[in-house]
Amino acid sequence: MNNINIYLVRHGQTYFNLYERFQGWSDIELTKKGVADGHRSGHLLANIKFDAAYSSDLSRAVKTAEYILSENPHTTIKTPTTLPEFREQFFGSFEGTDTVAAIKKITQANHLTDIESFSELLTKQGVDNALNALKAADPYHDAENAAQFWTRIDAGFDFLRQAHPNGATILLVSHGSTIRSIAGHFGKKEYEGIAPENGSITKLTLTPDDVKVIFYSQTEQLPEA
């Protein structure tokens, strides 16, 4: 049985997080709080020896992983290996736009009159329908739909399964929508409507044919699991 432990961390706060803009594949710098988020996560994970460390290839995830690793005396790895498969959801032409204004356009285009926020869109429609609604509303149709998103996420998990032996412990730094989608899809559906905090830690167990969510979006103390 090839069970791999993954500590899945959301990157620290960025300027687009602060300004409440859709970020996606846009490569935005961390704020001072974002740097502190990374170090805080590192302190929480300081007693865990990682056999490997990965991050999305976007700089906010790479830097957060480096801050986490700098706090860990048990791990000699200092820089993560980048995995584009665990990038944030791609928002197409909505990248960089104000979240409230973008959601208004998305809901109007899809005739969803009772939804006013991204979390509400995910809660009421579910991740897959929300992804498809974003693509349908994007005038360029560049935003990822559900099939595109899950194809690359599944490819990322398949890589980790093939690259690591039973019992391996991995650090993986990714993004808010990606993490909540994974947690909702493989864990509790209600996670889809709860954004993980910047620098929060979610634990997964990767099995040969499944992903199990052990805990979600922890920032103060890690549960014993």
Q: Which residues are catalytic?
A: 11, 88
User: Residue 7 pairs with which residues in a beta bridge?
Assistant: 171, 203
Nearest to 214 by CA among 181, 189, 187: 187
Residue 112 gets which letter from DSSP? -
Residue 97 gets which letter from DSSP? S
Q: Token match 């954004």: residue?
A: 195
CA distance linking residue 198 with residue 17, whole number of Å? 9
User: Residue 174 pairs with which residues in a beta bridge?
Assistant: 10
Strands 169-174 and 52-55: parallel
- Judged by DSSP in three states, 79 sits in coil
Tokens at 186, concatenated: 């493989």
User: Residue 218 pairs with which residues in a beta bridge?
Assistant: 201
- Judged by DSSP in three states, 31 sits in coil
Strands 211-218 and 201-206: antiparallel
CA distance linking residue 144 with residue 192, whole number of Å? 17
Q: Token match 């549960």: residue?
A: 223
